[in-house]
Structure 1
Amino acid sequence: MDWTRGGTIGRGSTSVVSVATDNYSGDVFAVKSSELYRAESLKREQRILSTLSCPHVVAYKGCDVSSENGKVLYNLFMEYAPKGTVVDAIEKHGGGLDEATVRSYTRGILLGLRFLHGNGIVHCDIKGRNILVTDDDGVKIADLGCAKRVNGVSSSVSGTPLYMAPEVARGEQQGFPADIWALGCTVIEMATGKAPWPDVDDPLSALYRIGFSSDVPEIPNNISKQAKDFLTKCLKRNPFERWSVIQLLAHEFVNESKFAVNGRDGSQSETPTSVLNRQLWDSMEEIDTNQILSKKPCFPTKCLMKRIQLLVEDDLVFSLRMPNWDCDENWVTVRSNGSLEEEAWVSSSNVDEPHMNDDYGLGLEISGQKTSNNFESGCKTSSSKACKYVTFILCTKLNYCNDRYTFNAILPVVVIGILSSYLLTHKSFKVLSHPKYNFMDPNPHP
């Protein structure tokens, strides 16, 4: 490969990582270089990485030997992650990451570990600096310089002291459970912005405390109950008691259904499981409702009518004129068990559109005249008019939603409340079936 080395983006104990460009294709990649005479670790990484292909492990691009500035270098080519590492993300955030991000990153690391462990490979050095952040805010495991195969003959241990498991610190073994302990330490690092064991000053003290005390890294207090439980499963001092990668992937903390998603405003919220999800409809139009309720104390019926007026004025309705409620030719009676007097009362209540006045009593101002404050008649009039308003709004909004694939989740709540109240008072109700308001029509009218 004919390539040109760019700026340095990372350094290790024996190697340097730089940005590089393919002179023919213009592709950008990362190159990890070490002087040839001490490149054994880099060659081992190349032998392992060249056999792997996983979306959660950094991709292998090739290798070569070059002579630069009088030095012979062994170069390992890998995919480039422009967002850097998890440590870089923590620094950009100004401290610990939010839990939704920690949750997502943790699952990505687990998926990478599942692939490595499934292929008989122990990473041996999981930590924030060895986890790359991709353009789509995913993560990939990188730096397999310490990695080894579990069926290999090597009995040595390696890694970063602060992330070592107790059995590794004692020099006993370094198997799959060691990666799980290191993952727990990395989760703490992501949540707090600091490496585990922050009160330990030097590597030797860390190894002694980790290996020969009964201590475990301190679990942060400002994380969820699920996150704390996840960490306890990772940070068991006995390696045989630690959960495996497969078990951890099923844990509630990293369960896919619990992931937060970005809303239209970019904020994160839990994925709703239904259009009537309480979190979803509780959050809708919250500001407008609070502004209305903060003006004056009001009765439920009046507040409801005010809310319906806001829905009518919503941009989804496009300021359509109310239909002629007095015309019965477009109405179909779907249930009628009442007397003629009851139906006559419903017909007689079909008066002009009400206008809400500033009085927060139960009365309505209709065609410039105020109805009686009699509680029963006020409730009947309000229920009848509210049902008609809601039917019109529902039909019009659903027509619009058929085209735009959007849904206002507050409507079912309003409909259920209003129609329930209306049905308790009257034994007959009608449904608008005019083609213009037929929301089942596959070709809805504007």
Structure 2
Amino acid sequence: MDWSRGPTVGRGSFATVSAAISNLTGHIFAVKSTQLSSSNSLQNEQRILSNLTHPRIIGYIGHDTTVENHKFLYNLFLEFLPYGNLNDETLRHGGTMKDSLIALYTRQILDGLDHIHSIGIAHCDIKGQNILLGENGAKIADFGCAKWVSYPPPPENVISGTPTFMAPEVAGGEEQGFPADIWALGCTIIEMATGGSPWSSHHRHYRHPCSILYRIAFSGESPIIPDFLSGKAKDFLGRCLRRDPKERWTARELLKHPFVEESNYAERENEGLNSKSPMSTLNQSIWNSVEDVSEVPRPSSGFSQGDRIRQLTSFSGKPNWSREENWVTIRDYNYYKTHQLN
């Protein structure tokens, strides 16, 4: 694939996301890159995404390996979603979303979860930061922790994800299947409603990831459901946040819940697709800080896609995208081998 790497639009523990453009078609996409020697998570994401095609899942374009600055890089090509993530959207709404908007995004996430669960895949890291927004609404992204689910789980079953969004059975090291994604969805709804961690209403002593994991696994408690939510929203959360995974509703059952089913969907969709916050999310380690802080500035509204990408790079200077030196032409590893480049 002949393409050019543009400005960096996000960084994480394991990968860097850059804007990119195909030199053949002019199509803009996102490229998620990391050193080949430490690319297990990114390669797992590629294997999962290459099996998925759904309007509520981030689009997979391809992958390759390149040599840049004398380093071997593994690159994952993804659909570019310019409107940020659910955390950004919550901030744009003053730190708390209305029930109607929460219901819209919840339904869209459920559509994606129902699809991946139906073919045997658990995401394992659902949270606002991993739900990206495009012209047509929310899409589930960051499948670095995702896995094919088998019952019973294998003896070497690996637990992964973000501590504050882990279900009790996950925090306790027992299993991580489809019900864990539903618990995390409940936590994400609280995040949309309050603008904070699902456990932030609890004692500050439990802000450390290890303390939170212990509390989730063994305290018998669940995240506090905000009092100001509607009765339907509270009931919906109650179905998601049952500590026994066998008692949680499935994604398909939740799609029939009045909270997401009984509303003017078209009207809420028009309300929801108004975000102008183009950030990217990256895979995070389980031991990252409980409260994630983005390094990318939030832009103002009213910009074209090119303007949005330019503003993403304002923290490191505003490059002139029309100038050739701001883009690096990349070809796959076979090209480098053929031409014996170091």
Provide TM-score, normalisation by structure 1: 0.57
Residues 41 and 267 (structure 1 numbering): CA distance in 2 closer, same or farther, change over 3 Å? closer
Superposed CA offset, 1:209-240 (max 9, x none) = 10000111011112111000000000000111
Secondary structure of the corresponding residue to residue 194 of structure 1: coil
Q: Which moved more, 1:178-187 or 1:218-227?
A: 218-227
Q: How far apart in 2 are the matches of 1:42 and 1:12?
A: 12
* C-alpha contact 1:107 1:249 (8 A) present in aligned 2: yes
Superposed CA offset, 1:235-286 (max 9, x none) = 00011111111110000001054536169xx879xxxxxxxxxxxxxxxxxx
* C-alpha contact 1:103 1:259 (8 A) present in aligned 2: no
Counterpart for residue 146 of structure 2: 147
Matching residue's letter, 2:257: H
Return 5+ residue gaps in structure 1 as ranges: 269-446
Q: Are 2:252 and 1:246 aligned? A: yes
Residues 256 and 70 (structure 1 numbering): CA distance in 2 closer, same or farther, change over 3 Å? farther
Q: How far apart in 2 are the matches of 1:95 and 1:66?
A: 41
Counterpart for residue 314 of structure 2: none
Counterpart for residue 163 of structure 2: 161
Q: How far apart in 1 are the matches of 2:85 and 2:271?
A: 23
Q: How far apart in 1 are the matches of 2:238 and 2:140?
A: 23
Matching residue's letter, 2:267: V
* C-alpha contact 2:100 2:268 (8 A) present in aligned 1: no
Per residue, is there more helix in 1 or in 2? Answer: 1
Secondary structure of the corresponding residue to residue 219 of structure 1: coil
Counterpart for residue 172 of structure 2: 170
Secondary structure of the corresponding residue to residue 187 of structure 2: helix
Match of 2:194 among 169, 185, 192: 192
Match of 1:236 among 238, 242, 259: 242
Q: CA deviation at 1:77?
A: 0.3
Q: CA deviation at 1:92?
A: 2.3
* C-alpha contact 1:252 1:258 (8 A) present in aligned 2: no
Secondary structure of the corresponding residue to residue 207 of structure 2: coil
Counterpart for residue 377 of structure 1: none
Residues 82 and 256 (structure 1 numbering): CA distance in 2 closer, same or farther, change over 3 Å? farther
Q: How far apart in 2 are the matches of 1:135 and 1:7?
A: 22
Q: CA deviation at 1:56?
A: 0.6
Matching residue's letter, 2:24: Y
Secondary structure of the corresponding residue to residue 66 of structure 1: strand
Matching residue's letter, 1:109: I
Matching residue's letter, 2:166: M
Q: CA deviation at 1:66?
A: 1.2
* C-alpha contact 2:31 2:78 (8 A) present in aligned 1: yes
Q: How far apart in 1 are the matches of 2:109 and 2:214?
A: 28
The alignment covers a number of residue pairs equal to 265
- Output the aligned Cα RMSD: 1.8
Secondary structure of the corresponding residue to residue 26 of structure 1: coil
- Which has the bigger relative contact order, CA under 8 A and spacing at least 6? 2
Structure 2 counterparts to residues 84-233 of structure 1, below 5 A: 84-136=84-136, 138-151=137-150, 153=154, 154-198=156-200, 199=204, 200-233=206-239
* C-alpha contact 1:100 1:260 (8 A) present in aligned 2: no
Counterpart for residue 7 of structure 1: 7
Q: CA deviation at 1:195?
A: 1.6
Q: How far apart in 2 are the matches of 1:128 and 1:12?
A: 16
Matching residue's letter, 2:232: Q
Matching residue's letter, 1:187: I
* C-alpha contact 1:189 1:195 (8 A) present in aligned 2: yes
* C-alpha contact 1:162 1:195 (8 A) present in aligned 2: yes
Structure 2 counterparts to residues 27-426 of structure 1, below 5 A: 27-136=27-136, 138-151=137-150, 153=154, 154-198=156-200, 199=204, 200-255=206-261, 257-259=263-265, 261=267
Q: CA deviation at 1:141?
A: 0.4
Return 5+ residue gaps in structure 2 as ranges: 273-342
Q: How far apart in 1 are the matches of 2:262 and 2:80?
A: 27
Secondary structure of the corresponding residue to residue 261 of structure 1: helix
Matching residue's letter, 1:173: E
Matching residue's letter, 2:259: F
* C-alpha contact 1:112 1:140 (8 A) present in aligned 2: yes
Q: How far apart in 2 are the matches of 1:6 and 1:96?
A: 34
Superposed CA offset, 1:303-353 (max 9, x none) = xxxxxxxxxxxxxxxxxxxxxxxxxxxxxxxxxxxxxxxxxxxxxxxxxxx
Provide TM-score, normalisation by structure 2: 0.74
Q: How far apart in 2 are the matches of 1:157 and 1:65?
A: 28
Matching residue's letter, 2:124: C
Secondary structure of the corresponding residue to residue 14 of structure 1: coil
Residues 25 and 169 (structure 1 numbering): CA distance in 2 closer, same or farther, change over 3 Å? same
Q: CA deviation at 1:6?
A: 1.9
Secondary structure of the corresponding residue to residue 57 of structure 1: coil
Q: How far apart in 1 are the matches of 2:67 and 2:266?
A: 49
Q: How far apart in 2 are the matches of 1:91 and 1:70?
A: 40
Q: CA deviation at 1:2?
A: 1.3
Superposed CA offset, 1:160-208 (max 9, x none) = 0000000000000001100000000001001111121114321001101
Q: How far apart in 2 are the matches of 1:254 and 1:45?
A: 29
Secondary structure of the corresponding residue to residue 117 of structure 1: helix
* C-alpha contact 1:11 1:17 (8 A) present in aligned 2: yes
Show structure 1 runs of 4+ deviating over 3 A: 256-260
Residues 258 and 227 (structure 1 numbering): CA distance in 2 closer, same or farther, change over 3 Å? farther
